[in-house]
Each structure stands twice: as structure tokens, then as C-alpha cells.
Amino acid sequence: MSKGKTKNLVGQPIFKQIVKMLPREQFDLLVQQCGSDRYYKTFFSWDQLIVMLFGIFSRCDSMGEVCDSMRALEGKLNYLNMDCSPAKSTAGDALRDRSEELFKLYYFALIAYFRPLLSVSRKKDVSFEEFYAFDSSTFTLFSEVMKGVGRNRKDDGKKKGGLKVHMLTDIHADTAVFATISEAKMHDKKFLAHLNPAKGSMLVFDKAYNFYQQFADWTREGVNFVCRLKDNAKAQLQEVLFEKNLTKEEFGVYKIGHIHLEYKREKKPETLCLRLVYYKDEKGRKYKFITNNWEITPEEVALIYKYRWTIELTFKKLKQNFQLHFFYSETENGIKTQIWCTLIAHLLLNVVRVLSESKKAFSTIAALIRIHLISHLNLTWVVTEGRRAYTKRTKSRNKSPANVQMSLF
């Protein structure tokens, strides 16, 4: 082995180096608070978290595959303070019975723990220090799994159900700061009331969240928002503040208006005054943005909505790089536990990317960690210098197997 490769070898596998970043003390405090280990003599809460993270990082399709994979590594499990791999039944029972509340609370604790590190970067073209996007994504479930989310399947098993993950993302840090899970049939706008944004912050979301009563409450509290106006909204145009005719090739803001929107609070009619910005993008598509902020430029209003795409990319990362289309349990508690652990894994990969200052794409980093999960290589070197592709060495005249060499690096 060359000297260049030797210096990148370390005493612990990649998985152990990632797990070491987790604050164990906070987890133990939450275990005591939730009483998660009260009736367990083996396979404690920390063991379950480790098993779940191993399955998520290695993209295993079932709990049986997770346990079998760990059983093949029993010589290395001492690095994780585990004597042996759990039995499939033991891990499955814990996934069914141990409350998902523990992993939910730990995820929120990790957000607070890592937030100073992840908040280093900032979108300089946006004038708000606290800048958030809110959206949801549905994870489809079939067959018996549907029973965990309150849906009864038909006899042919073709009826679909699902879980919906609602997430508030810090756009500056590209990290979720709030998340909740509901049935897929629950309407999105009901979850706006669960948010607790600070005065002076900016929220952005799509037109599925048009909830005028909540908009009025935020306006009184000094919370800013930008979203699209629904196509069927009954907006009353009070005044045209700016108007410009654009040619076919031109794009940008072409109209600004002052509108009133009627809504009811406890059956009493009320009026909401908002700013309406008409915008045409480079592809000729036209948008109507509403906001309660009258001070920022209309161009910044359009830019703020453009940054809403950040949360769409977050959901894309979750669905493409983790096995959220395969669930390890058929119970509601087990499915939610897996989702919370997947969010923890996503957060850890973001931390790895920031600490290593890697320029690689998130999907590349996830793939490299999956490939080298049990390799004794330096984590920073893997995510900055490692490559997924094999490279062939110079061909030799002697084509014996001993002379045909492949390199991962």
C-alpha cells in the first residue's frame, strides 16, 4: 500500500467517526425523561439508535437485512459499545414499542446543538437574518402499513395511504429547525399554527398554505411572509402602485398592487391588507406574490420566493439518498421512528459536509459514506478526496489474477 493511502487510515471505521459526533449526554437525559429504557434489560435506546443509523446509512431495505449485515460485522461492533448484533425480533419489537417521542426530541436537541456550526453561511442578497421555508412531502404507504396511519385498505390492496412530513427549514443554514408528522390526508395549512416564528423573521411557502387568519396574526406580531396568491382567491385590488409593460424578451416585476382579502374569525368578517407583486421569469412564466412587508423591494420579494426551492431540495435529498420507500415496521410508531432517525442521519451528513468543507454534492457524500461505512479511513479524506468509481491501472502482459489490480481510490 502506498504512503498516500496509509496516512488516511485511522483506528476507527467511518460509522464510528460519524456516531462520535452525537452528544451522548443529551440522549441519556432524554432517555431518563421519556423512561425509554424502563422495561428493557438489553437492547437499550442508544443501541436502537445505532442500529437504525447503520441501516439508514447502508440503505438496508428491511430490519432483517439490517440485523444480518451487523451480524457479519460482529468483530467490529465493539467500536460501537455493542457486544453483538440484535436479533430481528428484538429490534422489531423495540421499533414497535419504544416511543418515537424520544427520537423526535433528540432530533430537535441536535438541531439546537449543531445550529451554530451550520449557520455560518448566509444568503447575502436577502435582508433577513431569520429566513425560513415551510413545506411538506408525502411518503406513500401500501398494504398493511396503511393501518399505521389510519387508512383501511381495500381487498385488492391497491388503495394508497401515506404519512406527510411537515418541515420548517432555515434557508441560511440549509437545515430543518422544526418538523412534525401527520396523516397524508391532513390539510397543510393547519400546521401553520404550530410554527412559532420570531418577530422580524421571514417565512416563505407555496400557495397551498393560503390561510388569511394566520396571515393576519403574523402581521400583528411583526412576522413577515411571502407566498403565491391562489388562482381562485377573491382579492379586491385597492390601488395600483406600479405598472410596466414588458416585451416578450423582458422579465422581472411588471406590476405592484395593494389588495384586500376577506376572511372570517369566529364567524365575524375581517379584512387583510397585503402587497401584491406581479413577476415574470426568464421562461415567460407569470407569478403573483403576496406579502405583508411593504419595505423590501419587489425584486427581493421574488428572490425570497425563489429561495423556497431550498426546502424542495431537502425533501429530494431525503427521498433519493435514504430508503424512505422501504419501512422497517408496519406500525405507526415504528414508521415515525424511522423517519426521525432518517432526519438525524440527514443532519449528520450536513454536519460532515460543513466540517470537511467538501465541495462534493450531497448525494456523492452519502454514496461515499455508504461504500466506506466500515472502512478504517479518515472521514474528512473520504468525503473530500474519495471517489465512487473504480480506476484501472496500467495493463500488464501477464493477465493472471495476481496482476489485475483495481483501486477504489
Report yes or no on 359 lying in a domain. yes
Report yes or no on 241 lying in a domain. no
Report yes or no on 366 lying in a domain. yes
Report yes or no on 255 lying in a domain. no
- Could you give the number of structural domains in the chain? 1
pLDDT in tens, 124-171: 789 998 999 999 888 776 544 444 444 444 444 445 567 888 899 999
Q: What is the predicted pLDDT for the residue at 399? A: 47
Q: Spell out the residues 6+ positions from residue 232 whose beta carbon is closer than 8 angstroms to its own.
A: none
The domain of 359 spans 3-101+330-385
pLDDT in tens, 368-404: 999 999 888 999 999 998 765 544 554 544 544 444 3
DSSP label at residue 241: E
pLDDT in tens, 33-75: 999 999 888 899 999 999 999 999 999 989 999 998 888 877 7
Which residue in this structure is represented by grid cell 467511518? 14
pLDDT above 70 covers a percentage of the chain that reads 87
Q: Is 233 helix (H, G, I), strand (E, B) or coil?
A: coil
Report yes or no on 190 lying in a domain. no
Mean pLDDT for the chain overall:
85
Average pLDDT over residues 348-366: 92
Report yes or no on 344 lying in a domain. yes
Could you list the beta-strand ranges (E) of 184-229. 202-204, 224-228
pLDDT in tens, 259-294: 999 998 888 999 999 999 999 999 999 999 999 999
Report yes or no on 245 lying in a domain. no
Report yes or no on 10 lying in a domain. yes
Q: What is the predicted pLDDT for the residue at 161? A: 62
Residue 175: enclosing H or E segment and its boundaries? Answer: strand 175-183
Start-end of H helices in 161-273: 212-221
